[in-house]
Amino acid sequence: MAAPPSSSRLRSMLQASVQSVQWTYSLFWQICPQQGILVWSDGYYNGAIKTRKTVQPMEVSAEEASLQRSQQLRELYDSLSAGETNQPPARRPCASLSPEDLTESEWFYLMCVSFSFHPGVG
């Protein structure tokens, strides 16, 4: 079996696939060997943005905005799920999102992060 691509390479491949067909997002799941299930690995969000939050004073390209939003959505998921794992809440950056900042497609993307697929189910 081939080694998985690096995180930045995978993100670039997800970004290229989304932008080439103008999809709203792309998601990548991988096998979790310890549990034998598919779990969320990475994703790229390319859809509508309801509320823009940034720490940069200048305008960014649409491509950079999508990349930032993908990261912000992952950080929001990590923050929301910290309570479920009895982990101390992660320090949220000043440009972090709140649930009320999200569109429906952003919510769906965010929920996909929590999905896992057991063998023979689905």
Domain ranges of the chain: 7-117
Distance, CA of 2 to CA of 24 (rounded, Å): 28
Phi and psi dihedrals of 47, rounded to 5?
Answer: -100, -165
Series of mean pLDDT values for 10-residue runs along the chain (122 residues):
71 88 90 91 88 66 84 87 64 66 90 89 73
Instruction: Tell me, yes or no, if the pTM score tops 0.85.
Output: no
Amino acid at 45: Y
Compute CA distances 108 → 26, 27, 71, 84, 103, whole Å. Answer: 12, 11, 15, 19, 9
Give the pLDDT confidence score for residue 105 in this predicted structure: 93
Quick one: pLDDT at residue 53?
A: 66
Render the burial of 76-87: b for 16+ CB within 10 Å, e for the rest.
Answer: bbebeeeeeeee
